[in-house]
Amino acid sequence: MFSLVLCSAILSQYGHLAWSDEFVGNSLDLTKWTPQYGDGSQYGIPGWGNNEWQSYTDNPSNLFVQDGRLHIVAQKQGNQYTSARIRTLGKGEFTYGRMEASIKVPAPGAGLWPAFWMLPTNSPYGGWAAGGEIDIVEWINGMDEVHGTLHHGSAWPANQYTGGSYDPPGGAISGFHTYAIEWDPDQIRWYFDDVQYSQKSLNQWFTDSAPGDAEAPFDWNFHFILNLAVGGNWPGYPDGSTPFPATLEVDWVRVWKREAPSAYADHQIPGVVEAENYDRGGQSVGYWDADHTNNGGFVMRADQGVDIGSSGGGGAYVGWLRPMEWLQFTSDVICGGEYLVRAKVASASSGGRFHLELHGLDLTGPIVVPATDGWQDWVEVEAVLNLPSDLQLPLRFVNDGTESQEFNIDSFTFERIDSNPDCNEVSYPCCLSSGCEILTTTNCVDAGGSVEPSLGDCDSPSDCFGTGACCFPDGTCVNATQASCAFGGGAFQGLSEPCNPTLCPLQTGACCLGDSCTSLEEATCQAAGGVFNGAGTSCEAAPECTGTGACCFADASCTNATQENCSFGGGIFQGSSAECATTACPQLTGACCVGSSCAILEASLCEQAGGVFGGEASSCTEVSCTSPCPGDFNSDSVIGFDDLLFVLSDWDGTQADLDGSGTTDFADVLILLAAFGPC
């Protein structure tokens, strides 16, 4: 009864299922997860930063989906260990909500370290652990205690952590259990089968990168990681008693939200956008507010901290603005080009400043708010910006003022002032190998350049040689120069695209290796003799890996078989969509004369046997295999003991039939003995 009430309470708070993976099918869903590889060296953290022993792979022996469950398997191979680690980077990233999974841990064993945890995606607060880490649950060794931890503070080695643990009754944990956190702006709670065992509030975490932001670093998008490590500083290392293979099973992973994120209204540009109509979704989705109280008192959305006041006549405005606070307005830009934006603002004495941005790119530069001598004495401030023609653009208002600067914002009016009536592409600074030019996006890309709106009028062409986001095939992103990115095998995204908020596309795809399918880069797949199905494809969409199809053999015979079985039997696979009933297999064999003997062979095998190939599809009845020396079966120009042995081995056969009787018998022995000697 208690669990039913608790479950009902949870669903009432987090009623919107925002994301899930139920692990249906027979392969990992690569639209949601990306495997990671190796020992961490390629990420600059050998031993994955913990002196772990395993190397991660996506081999079917380490990572597979079966019977509706994900399996991560740690294997011992001699003195080496392999396992698997997957993450949702670029595919599933979340701020706040209930994150939960149904998990079955491995049997107890020294050095085993399974975990379900989260890391920030391109955190503005810096590297680990200034950017934060949320360990939803970890287990080690005896698998009899669950641990939930936050890592925060400063970058390593000055990092800090705070956490809690729970020792369920009954010793080692067995079977499936639900592990969850409920993550709110001011608090994170940990659960084991819906029993809360730990709670941390915002006064128990911090980041040196934003000392004035009480919620940081846990007010940013984080992604999931599931892995099973072998060894490390915390669990120690495996010994002879550690059971291998060790398996971590996951039945499902789910994310629940209090409210579905969406636009508050259909903002149309050109047009007017009211400040109080910011996006739905809550803190860090539709807005970011420094405190959690609506100081304005004008309630439009309960339990939200945006400070909204009444401007009379039923209107409203946003005020009591603090540094770094922002509002997001998802908008449809009907016609791209140059726009004039007029913001309606008021400030009693101090004034302030703000800017508008898109995907983290400052579109306007600082817009100054003057002192208007009253909180309701409205004026308009203006700026010019370029907007692309697009739907659902996440425009943001960002307060750049100081703690002492206060102002109110009522609305934004967007007016298109571009002289081009056809909504053609806007020209931007373009970085080329020769410097900077003003070009349209299409012309810039065609010239091999990168579009850099942040460079203004190309008055600083040297900026073209700065750093930007560099994407790698596994979806990771680092800030680097264009040359360094190319040297490292990455794809440069441009100077105006830092890793926040650039999402690097996955360049791996389904690779068919016989009957099996795994996610690899195209070059790696082809080098392994596999068939690459395209970047971003999943093994579920690659039926040729596991399906049957026509398999042609050298004698033109055909059988329906899997690709692996076809290759194993020496056939040529025609594809999973081909069937023997509709496939004409070419005959690649023919008559091969070895001396006076004839056999059906492939041309290469015939040549290796010292024979004469009669042509593809030729038969022994069509070809006369005459020997200049009848009885010289081994073609050494001498009739001797080896030829006699051949006759005896073919007794009652046809290959040593010298007298044409149709059977090798005693008469053929007499003929051979009579011809003994050189031909």
Active site residues per annotation:
133, 138
Strand partners, 188: 183, 200
Query: Which tokens belong to 358?
Result: 């898109």
H or E stretch including 354?
strand 352-358
Residue 597's Cβ-count burial label (10 Å; 0-12, 13-18, 19+) is: buried
> What residue type is assigned to position 368 of the chain?
V
Single-letter residue type at 550: A
* Dist. CA 200–CA 164, nearest whole Å: 9
- For residues 30 and 92, what is the distance between their CA atoms, to the nearest angstrom? 11
Contacts of 111 by beta carbon, 8 Å cutoff, 6+ apart: 53, 141, 230, 231, 232, 235, 236, 237, 238, 239, 242
Q: Which amino acid is at 649?
A: S
How many angstroms separate the first and last alpha carbons of the chain?
101
Strands 112-120 and 133-138: antiparallel
Phi-psi region of 243 (alpha: psi -120 to 50; beta: other; left: phi over 0): beta
Instruction: Please enumerate in sequence order all residues whose Cβ is within 8 A of that of 171, keeping only pairs 6 or more positions apart, or say none.
Output: 144
Count of other CB atoms within 10 angstroms of residue 578: 17
Return the H-helix or E-strand segment holding 566. helix 563-568
Cβ–Cβ under 8 Å, residues 656 and 675: no
CA-nearest of 573, 574, 603 to 591 is: 603
Q: Are 495 and 464 in contact (CB under 8 A)?
A: yes
- B/e letters for 492-521, b = 16+ CB within 10 Å, e = fewer, are bbbbbbbbbebbbebebbbbbbbbbbbbbb
CA distances from 138 to 73, 172, 217, 310 (A): 16, 14, 21, 49
Nearest to 229 by CA among 483, 28, 39, 461: 39
Residue 168 is encoded by which pair of tokens? 């369920």
Q: In one letter, which amino acid is 162?
A: T
Q: 657 is written with which tokens?
A: 């039939």
Give CA–CA dist 649/671, Å, rounded: 16
In angstroms, the CA 413 to CA 265 distance is 15
Three-state SS string across 426-493, please? Answer: CEEEEEECCEEEEEEHHHHHHCCCEECHHHCCCCCHHHHHCEEEEECCCCCEEEEEHHHHHHCCCEEC
Nearest Cα residue to 440 out of 391, 389, 491: 389
**Inter-residue contact 322 to 212 (CB < 8 Å):** no
